[in-house]
């Protein structure tokens, strides 16, 4: 569920603007998630850090604090160049939670 407080904070309650942002997100997010998964699989921590940061910033607009926190952890661990295995729990959590976010925003745009 999209956080009503996030809508008020980031969109001033403007649901038209929210839908525009959601439309951009549902277009761009699958590529970013795929790029993040590929960076994780290949151990490219610099790319993983960048993709996690980008997704974190976008998802924050809609609330979803758990996924934002998870992406922050991924970004921080990747920035610190921790072993890729240290990022696995957050990557798994993100990949389990992302479809819910994507569906909610796709439903909003439809």
Domain positions in the chain are 4-109
In this structure, CATH architecture of domain 4-109: Up-down Bundle (1.20)
The torsion of the CA quartet 68, 13, 28, 90, rounded to 10 degrees, works out to: 10
For 47-52, what is the mean pLDDT? 96
User: What confidence tens digit (pLDDT) does each residue in 1-48 have?
Assistant: 678 788 888 888 888 898 999 999 999 999 999 999 999 999 999 999
Residue in this structure with the two tokens 């729990």, named with its chain if needed? 89
**DSSP string over 30-74:** HHHHHHHHHHHHHT-HHHHHHHHHHHHHHHHTT--HHHHHHHHHH
| Residue whose tokens read 């994507």 | 102
CA-to-CA separations, 29 to 12, 81, 84, 86, 98, in angstroms, rounded: 23, 24, 22, 24, 10
Q: Which of 28, 31, 48 is nearest to 39 (CA)?
A: 48
pTM above 0.85, yes or no: yes
Cα(99)–Cα(97) distance, integer angstroms: 6
For residue range 87-104, what is the model confidence (pLDDT) as tens digits? 999 999 999 999 999 999
pLDDT at residue number 3: 80
> If DSSP codes are grouped into helix, strand and coil, which group holds residue 23?
helix
Nearest to 69, CA basis, from 79, 78, 59: 59
């Amino acid at each position: 569920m999209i956080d009503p407080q996030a809508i008020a904070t980031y969109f001033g309650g403007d649901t038209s603007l929210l839908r525009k942002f959601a439309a951009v997100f549902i277009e761009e997010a699958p590529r970013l998630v795929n790029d993040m998964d590929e960076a994780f699989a290949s151990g490219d921590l610099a790319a993983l850090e960048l993709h996690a940061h980008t997704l974190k910033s976008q998802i924050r607009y809609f609330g979803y604090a758990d996924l934002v926190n998870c992406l922050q952890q991924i970004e921080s661990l990747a920035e610190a160049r921790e072993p890729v295995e240290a990022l696995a729990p957050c990557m798994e959590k993100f990949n389990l939670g992302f479809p819910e976010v994507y569906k909610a925003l796709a439903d909003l745009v439809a």
